[in-house]
Amino acid sequence: MTAMNAAEPILKLNDIRKTFGGITAIENFSLDIFPGEIVALVGDNGAGKSTLIKIISGVYTPTSGTITIEGETVAMSNATMARAHGIEVVYQDLALADQQTVYMNMFLGREPVNSFGLLDRRKMIAETEQLVKELDVRIPSAYATIRDLSGGQRQGVAIARATHWASKLILLDEPTAALGVAETAKVEEIVQSLKQRNIGVLIISHSLDQVFKLSDRICVLRRGRQIGVRETAKTDKNEIIAMITGLQHH
């Protein structure tokens, strides 16, 4: 790597726009992320944060605008292509998996069926109740199957996988939303350690404490519009809250 490469952004988003039918989810969005930099993406519910992450990770194709990775403009049509570019993602949905019924989570991918070929829910529920009793002590183990883990534990596995495989950029969509205090601290430590590997991080969080603790820059979205980007050291919570809500504090 030359000195020039080190100063080149890992990711360059230029004038990204995304519409779903008549809804504009993202408009005129531009952002550069540099190696070893942590950028926080904040905004209220429905602002377009997850949509933006899915655009970067190839899940959605932008309606217009360009994505440039280390100087190369790319057209990604699926998440596999993003992974090939060294981009790993921890999706928000993963944190929400524990809001599905426990028994469906427990049997994800290996649901028992009855003689009619229908899901054997009675069996799943009975076995889950049994397991819940047995899993009173929640100690994660390499031998545990994912469906035996809590939402928080599953999220931990996804974060570990993403941080292990990411070579350039990691996108975290509310990675600590389902985690306890100690687990959150651990994830924050891991995110900070990515700097040493020169990996860029884009993290979505509703916790401004976390945003101010971790990020180098903060990018604010409101109803799909990019309100502004600030250096974390040169702003404060009041300014960011005003940007998120659109309400000025005088």
Ligand X SMILES: Nc1ncnc2c1ncn2[C@@H]1O[C@H](COP(=O)(O)OP(=O)(O)OP(=O)(O)O)[C@@H](O)[C@H]1O
| Residue 202 φ/ψ, nearest 5 degrees | -115, 115
Is 50 among the residues that bind Mg ion (CB under 5 A)?
yes
Helix (H, G, I), strand (E, B) or coil at 177: coil
Stretch that binds ligand X, among 49-57, 150-158, 162-170, 240-248 (CB under 6 A): 49-57
Q: Which residue in this structure is represented by tokens 């502004």?
A: 228
- Beta pairing partners, 218: 40, 230
Q: How far is the CB of 80 from ligand X (least distance, A)?
A: 19
Q: How far is the CB of 202 from ligand X (least distance, A)?
A: 13
Is 47 among the residues that bind ligand X (CB under 6 A)?
yes
Residues 169-228 that bind ligand X (CB under 6 A): none
Size, binding site for ligand X by CB under 6 A? 12
Is 246 among the residues that bind ligand X (CB under 6 A)?
no
Is 23 among the residues that bind ligand X (CB under 6 A)?
yes
Helix count (H) and strand count (E) of the chain? 10, 10
CA atoms within 13 A on the CB side of 130: 6
Is 67 among the residues that bind ligand X (CB under 6 A)?
no
Q: How far is CA 125 from CA 95, 146, 153, in A?
A: 22, 17, 21
Q: Which does 51 bind (CB under 5 to 8 A by kind): ligand X, Mg ion, none?
A: ligand X
Closest alpha carbon to 12 in 29, 33, 27:
33
- Beta pairing partners, 173: 204
Is 50 among the residues that bind ligand X (CB under 6 A)?
yes
| Closer residue to ligand X in complex, CB, 63/167 | 63
Among 1, 2, 4, 45, binds ligand X (CB under 6 A): 45
Residues 69-108 that bind ligand X (CB under 6 A): 92
Are the C-beta atoms of 220 and 43 separated by less than 8 Å? Answer: yes
Token digits for 172?
């975290």
Stretch that binds ligand X, among 45-53, 107-115, 136-144, 231-239 (CB under 6 A): 45-53
